[in-house]
Structure 1
Amino acid sequence: MRELYFRQTLPISLDEAWAFFSNPDNLKEITPSYMGFKVLSKHQGSKMYPGQIINYTVSPVLGIPLKWCTEITHVSDRHYFVDEQRFGPYSFWHHQHRFTEMPGGVLMEDILHYKVPLGPLGHLVDRLMVGQQVQAIFDYRKKVLEQRFGTI
């Protein structure tokens, strides 16, 4: 299993950060277009809640669409939320999104645990391709968020 950690500070309020990141409709904006990411679920309002199911399609390899379903398993308003894959391209996916108010803005932390299926072959594919894709997605997010909100 891989464990990745990402952090970023933004010059916005905790309320603004929470409103943006806890709305599933904003995921497409912070995901590279080449991933073909689409949110399929229709949400009643933008308030996230434990048990919320979100369905997507994503096309990480050769434009082939894959279905992906996550559940929001934990929510502590304006502090953190967790999404876990229920079915999709990974054999395991657990993603913590944490938000901490700080002078001049907010610290955002992503703690990601994931595992690629297919045993040793999956491990090799992760090392050669998937891990680089995941890193590139978070690098892209950082860039887009800096462009949208600025930097501290």
Structure 2
Amino acid sequence: MKTYHLKFEQKLPIPLAETWDFFTSPLNLAKITPPDMAFKVTSVFAPETKVYPGMLITYKVAPLFGIKLNWMTEITQVKEHEYFVDEQRFGPYAMWHHEHHFKEIKGGVHMTDILNYAIPYGPIGRLANTLFVGNEVNKIFTYREKAINDLFGLYKEV
């Protein structure tokens, strides 16, 4: 199984505690996901719910061609104000391991996403990744960067 590795970095002009509060709330994920993915958290959470190790989160999502799929991730690791990890337990990928890292910097936070994923179906999956899945994953993170900038503003070097 071929695994793909992506890394995305972004600086936010807000305090670490505010950044952590936003990104560790499962209900905020829809705010930074492209609308055409029809992303919806289907787990029931109170608005103040924050991620914790062992937390299962279920979604409905249409990652390609508008086809709605069920997706379940588990939060496997959390180190408050530093990082958390989500891993797919059920969904469209053969493997999905997504690390979210946060580091306080002067004037804000440096956020790093490290994503490792694999597509099922062997050679057909590799071809699908080359033709469209890889581009779609990159589009999600490009959209996310813009949405985060719209929500919190642009980071300015201090």
Cα RMSD (Å) of the superposition?
Answer: 0.7
Map 1:95-106 to 2 at 5 A.
Answer: 95-106=98-109
Separation in structure 2 between the aligned mates of residue 47 and residue 37 of structure 1, nearest angstrom: 19
Could you list the runs of 4 or more consecutive aligned residues of structure 1 that deviate by over 2 angstroms after TM superposition? none
Partner residue in 2 for 1:17:
19
Provide the TM-score with structure 2 as the length reference: 0.94
Separation in structure 2 between the aligned mates of residue 62 and residue 21 of structure 1, nearest angstrom: 27
Separation in structure 1 between the aligned mates of residue 109 and residue 64 of structure 2, nearest angstrom: 34
Could you tell me how far 1:61 is from its partner in structure 2?
Answer: 2.1
The percent identity for this pair of structures is 53
Is 1:71 aligned to 2:77, yes or no? no
2:26/2:50 contact within 8 Å kept: no
Corresponding residue SS for 1:139: helix
Separation in structure 2 between the aligned mates of residue 104 and residue 92 of structure 1, nearest angstrom: 36
Q: Residue 111 of structure 2 is aligned with which of 108, 131, 134?
A: 108
Q: Figure out how many residues of one structure are paired with residues of the other and give that number.
A: 152
Separation in structure 1 between the aligned mates of residue 83 and residue 63 of structure 2, nearest angstrom: 27
| Structure 1 unaligned residues grouped into runs of 5+ | none
1:85-110 Cα distance to aligned partner (Å, 9 max, x none): 00100000000000000000000000
| Structure 2 unaligned residues grouped into runs of 5+ | none
Map 1:66-145 to 2 at 5 A.
Answer: 66-145=69-148
Provide the TM-score with structure 1 as the length reference: 0.98
Partner residue in 1 for 2:62:
59
Map 1:25-44 to 2 at 5 A.
Answer: 25-44=27-46
Could you tell me how far 1:3 is from its partner in structure 2?
Answer: 0.2
Could you tell me how far 1:63 is from its partner in structure 2?
Answer: 1.5
Could you tell me how far 1:62 is from its partner in structure 2?
Answer: 2.3
Could you tell me how far 1:2 is from its partner in structure 2?
Answer: 0.2
Separation in structure 1 between the aligned mates of residue 61 and residue 50 of structure 2, nearest angstrom: 23
